[in-house]
Structure 1
Amino acid sequence: MTRRLPTHLLVAALIRRVNDAGGIAVVRARGDADAGAILIILERENTVVERAIGPDGGDILVESGPGATRDESIEDYWKRRRQRDPDLWVVALDVADSQRFAAETILA
């Protein structure tokens, strides 16, 4: 089992990197500081991603959020997720190539 950095440090690093690149990163909801999951809203792509375990057992980013068959906004989606998981962090990114920032920071 690999040891992960505490969630609050990953979120702080992501925010710093996005801001340094001239983008905007906003924490919409704070979760558990040490072990909360992170839901990342990619504003420009109108997409949601989160860390998951890949087929090889390593971490990957997977697309999440309301599917095409659901009449639900991203805002409603993350609020519903927070009701079920109060430890969940929700971070919104508005920067060019935001998925790259998320992957390089969260999966590193």
Structure 2
Amino acid sequence: MRVTTDLWVSALLRRVFAAGGFAAVVRRGASEAGAVFVLSRNRLGEVALFGPAPQTTYDSARPDERHFSELYSGDDDAAVEARLDKEKRFDPDIWVVEIEAGQTPPEELLAITTP
């Protein structure tokens, strides 16, 4: 059984805060099954956007784990906002969580896969 998105996001926020970083829910989506997009910002102003990974990347040994793939990396906030606006038009129930993880890389907080 997969945990609700609301619970998963709460756990992500706790992991970020426990690692000495900061996190905020920018957009709250469907509590039970909304897709999650994570915007990671470092102290130099660089931004990385992570979104749900394709279904083919999921591990059958760990079916409950949420997997992410990197959708954007750079310093253009307008490009990130444009991508998120596109996702919101496609699915209005998405979650957007912004994190500044400090010394902890996003790979330690999220299950990131490369397609």
Instruction: Report Cα offsets for 1:71-90 as digits up to 9, x if no partner.
Output: x5212321331122111000
- Give structure 1 stretches of 5+ with no counterpart: none
Shift of 1:66: 8.0
What is aligned with 1:21? 19
What is aligned with 1:46? 47
Contact conserved, 2:58 with 2:67, CA < 8 A, in 1?
no
Shift of 1:54: 5.3
RMSD: 2.6
What pairs up with 1:93-104 in 2 under 5 angstroms? 93-95=99-101, 96=103, 97-103=105-111
Amino-acid identity (%): 32
- Give structure 2 stretches of 5+ with no counterpart: 60-65
Structure 2 length normalisation: TM-score? Answer: 0.72
Task: Give the aligned residue type for 1:51.
Answer: P
What is aligned with 2:87? 81
Task: Give the aligned residue type for 1:50.
Answer: G
